[in-house]
């Protein structure tokens, strides 16, 4: 990978596999980074560093104000292991079954998966995945309970961006009827062009030079411990598979609560 003999995409898939992530498990689905921060320009400039997301920081620290709020949350909570209010920056996760299913909701079998996770129906239209730009703004700036990253399909599968099955996904409060995913202006409304440019962004010189920083956060030494605290990259203890030994928990209610928590909110990849 350092010699550029394999692509960034292939290397990320390799790391995901080493870390136990698999297409066969929605709760441990392969995780990929947001690589762009420009979803408003008419043309995409892959030579400008401002076009890209800061890969050295987790999604919760993409803006100074948001980072400050998460550090404040961390400092305010006492260390109480085994409690839902344990000390951490994030009580939600960057990859979970519901995040995966929400991205792929326009394709079967993910449509049925999403509905079953939602209790049998689609979510409120305003909360559905409907726009790449608004999803980026939510995950990087606006929503304190949203730190989601991406899935591999954002770099090779245009079909998940179109509502080819004509599902009735609902109507937003502003009157917008949900259909195809709204794409950035530089994609010209064409899912194939979006995937092409997005993949070019992933393989660009800027991302190639900085991707190791993101890998450290997700798969490497900044995943937990003091390095994670310093990087504003700590998650609830239940998300770390090696921190919770379910075999030692005798209370069935506590055990089912922890399992439910993990299945709803996801798991940290195994450290590579």
**Residue 14 resides in a domain:** yes
What pLDDT sits at residue 78? 64
Q: Quick: pLDDT tens for 207-253.
A: 999 999 999 999 999 998 899 999 999 998 888 876 666 667 777 88
**Residue 270 resides in a domain:** no
**Residue 224 resides in a domain:** yes
* Tens digit of each residue's pLDDT, the chain (272 residues): 989 899 999 999 999 999 999 999 998 999 999 999 999 999 999 999 999 999 999 999 999 999 999 999 898 876 554 455 578 999 889 999 999 999 999 999 999 999 998 888 888 888 999 999 999 999 999 999 999 999 999 999 999 999 999 999 999 999 889 999 999 999 999 999 999 999 999 999 999 999 999 999 999 999 988 999 999 999 988 888 766 666 677 778 877 777 777 777 778 999 98
**Residue 38 resides in a domain:** yes
CA 21/CA 27 separation, integer angstroms: 9
pTM comes to: 0.92
Domain total of the chain? 1
131: closest CA among 102, 153, 157? 102
What pLDDT sits at residue 253? 80
**Residue 268 resides in a domain:** no
CATH of the domain at 57: 1.10.1540.10
**229-246 per-residue burial string, b: 16 or more CB within 10 A, e: under 16:** bebbbbbbbbbbbeebee
What pLDDT sits at residue 245? 65
**Residue 225 resides in a domain:** yes
**Residue 1 resides in a domain:** no
Bridge partners, 36 (sequence order): 52
CB 260 within 8 A of CB 27: no
Domain that holds residue 68: 8-263
What pLDDT sits at residue 262? 72
**Residue 163 resides in a domain:** yes
């Amino acid at each position: 990978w350092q010699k550029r003999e394999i692509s960034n995409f292939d290397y990320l898939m390799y790391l995901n596999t080493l870390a136990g992530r698999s297409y066969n498990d929605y709760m441990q689905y392969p995780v990929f980074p947001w690589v762009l921060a420009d979803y408003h320009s008419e043309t995409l400039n892959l030579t400008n560093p401002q076009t890209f997301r800061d890969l050295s920081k987790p999604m919760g620290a993409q803006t100074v104000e948001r980072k400050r709020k998460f550090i404040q949350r961390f400092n305010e909570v006492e260390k109480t292991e085994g409690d839902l209010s344990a000390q951490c920056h994030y009580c939600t996760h960057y990859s979970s079954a519901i995040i995966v299913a929400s991205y792929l909701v326009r394709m079967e079998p993910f449509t049925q998966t999403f509905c079953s996770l939602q209790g049998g129906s689609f979510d409120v239209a305003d909360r559905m995945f409907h726009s790449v730009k608004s999803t980026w703004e939510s995950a990087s700036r606006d929503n304190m309970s949203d730190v989601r990253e991406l899935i591999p399909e954002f770099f090779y599968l245009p079909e998940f961006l179109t509502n080819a099955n004509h599902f009735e996904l609902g109507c937003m409060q502003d009157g917008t009827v949900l259909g195809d995913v709204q794409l950035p202006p530089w994609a010209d409304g064409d899912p194939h062009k979006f995937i092409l440019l997005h993949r070019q962004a992933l393989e660009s010189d800027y991302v190639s030079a900085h991707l190791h920083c993101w890998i450290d956060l997700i798969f490497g030494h900044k995943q937990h411990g003091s390095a994670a605290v310093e990087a504003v990259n700590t998650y609830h203890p239940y998300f770390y598979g090696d921190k919770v030994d379910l075999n030692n928990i005798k209370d069935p209610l506590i055990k089912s609560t922890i399992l439910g928590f993990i299945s709803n909110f996801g798991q940290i990849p195994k450290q590579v």
